[in-house]
């Protein structure tokens, strides 16, 4: 169907360009052959197939982003033959929380490491909150809005600089974006807390973003620090950007522990 071929061509160029991948005519022909005999595919399903192809291709670690016909044929064959992975995504896996492997994010090495937990203890909640803080913090910095550009692109590309409770500047003229957990201290004051301590905030003139803000929520507060009153005056507050599970597993495949557990049971 000409209309479907036109839509596939348009979506393929758009999705691949968004992912910084170069699409050539032989590669486009391989993509169009996938839909031969399936002229009535919904547009949403076509976009999902194209997105799945880009995720597979990005795992190939291309040097210049140029896709060859051989690479595309290999990726298509992997998807067609990998029925086991499709079954895992469609099957509900029940795993005990005490059996799930625990991973700790190492900020220095920028990777997740397997952590051994002997038995549940009262202190594990404190450790859990600290790890939640670190995981959201590193995930946020991999987002395009907060990812710092390279030295050569600093003049062309801008990015938000996020500070924490232990790296905040007390200069009144500095506009900053503060990250931390929303809490109330013993004096009844609202603070943004982190591993390095807490910073008292003023929300009287703040514009709140979409969502329900509750205590223990991880938030981003944009504003300036009032050195005279000793608090951070929030102008706007929102939540850290979310990340799709597929994107997380692309960067950290070791976190797909549910699929790993199922493979062990089936073997």
pLDDT per residue as tens digits for the range 178-198: 999 999 998 999 999 998 889
pLDDT value of residue 190:
94
What burial letters (b/e) apply to 135-171, b meaning 16+ CB within 10 Å? Answer: bbbbbbbeeeebeeeeeeeeeeeeeeebbbbeebeee
- Cα-Cα-Cα-Cα dihedral sign, residues 244, 196, 233, 154: negative
pLDDT value of residue 260:
47
Cα(210)–Cα(62) distance, integer angstroms: 38
Taking 90 as the threshold, does the pLDDT of residue 22 lie above it?
no
What torsion, rounded to 10 degrees, do the Cα atoms 110, 115, 120, 122 define? -40
Is 197 a domain residue?
A: yes
Nearest to 182 by CA among 157, 159, 208: 208
User: What total of structural domains would you count in the chain?
Assistant: 3
Do 129 and 10 belong together in one domain? no
Do 12 and 54 belong together in one domain? yes
Do 29 and 64 belong together in one domain? yes
The DSSP output letter for 44 is H
Neighbours of 193 (CB within 10 A): 19
For the segment 47-69, what is each residue's pLDDT rounded down to a tens digit?
Answer: 888 888 888 887 776 666 678 88
Is 90 a domain residue?
A: no
Do 60 and 130 belong together in one domain? no
Is 168 a domain residue?
A: yes
Is 154 a domain residue?
A: no
For the segment 65-91, what is each residue's pLDDT rounded down to a tens digit?
Answer: 678 888 888 888 877 776 544 444 445
Do 52 and 174 belong together in one domain? no
Do 76 and 6 belong together in one domain? yes
Do 8 and 32 belong together in one domain? yes
Question: Which CATH number goes with the domain that contains 189?
Answer: 2.40.50.140
Do 27 and 64 belong together in one domain? yes
pLDDT band at 263 (very low <50, low <70, confident <90, very high): very low
Is 89 a domain residue?
A: no
Is 8 a domain residue?
A: yes
Task: Determine the 3-state secondary structure of 156 from DSSP.
Answer: coil
For residue 201, the enclosing domain spans 162-238
Is 55 a domain residue?
A: yes
**pTM higher than 0.85:** no
The DSSP output letter for 21 is -
Cα(193)–Cα(181) distance, integer angstroms: 5
Cα(266)–Cα(22) distance, integer angstroms: 39
Region at 61 (left for phi over 0; alpha for psi -120 to 50; beta for the rest): left
Is 156 a domain residue?
A: no
Taking 70 as the threshold, does the pLDDT of residue 120 lie above it?
no
pLDDT value of residue 264:
47
């Amino acid at each position: 169907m000409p209309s479907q071929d036109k839509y596939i061509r348009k979506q393929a160029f758009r999705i691949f360009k968004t992912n910084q991948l170069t699409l050539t005519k032989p590669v486009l022909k391989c993509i169009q052959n996938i839909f031969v005999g399936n002229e009535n595919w919904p547009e949403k399903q076509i976009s999902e197939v194209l997105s799945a192809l880009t995720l597979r291709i990005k795992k190939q670690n291309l040097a210049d982003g140029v896709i060859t016909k051989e690479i595309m044929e290999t990726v298509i064959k992997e998807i067609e033959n990998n029925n086991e992975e499709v079954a895992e995504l469609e099957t509900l896996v029940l795993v005990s929380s005490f059996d799930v492997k625990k991973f700790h994010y190492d900020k220095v090495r920028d990777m997740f490491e397997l952590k051994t937990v002997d038995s549940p203890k009262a202190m594990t909640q404190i450790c859990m909150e600290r790890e939640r803080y670190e995981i959201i913090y590193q995930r946020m910095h991999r987002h395009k809005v907060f990812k710092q550009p390279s030295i050569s692109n600093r003049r062309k590309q801008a990015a938000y600089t996020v500070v924490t409770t232990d790296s905040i500047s007390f200069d009144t003229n500095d506009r900053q974006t503060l990250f931390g957990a929303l809490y109330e201290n013993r004096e009844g004051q609202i603070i943004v807390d982190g591993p390095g301590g807490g910073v008292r905030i003023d929300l009287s003139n703040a514009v709140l973003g979409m969502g329900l803000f509750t205590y223990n929520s991880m938030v981003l507060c944009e504003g300036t620090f009032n050195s005279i009153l000793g608090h951070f005056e929030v102008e706007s507050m929102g939540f850290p950007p979310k990340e799709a599970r597929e994107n997380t597993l692309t960067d950290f495949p070791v976190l797909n522990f549910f699929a790993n557990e199922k493979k062990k049971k089936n073997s």
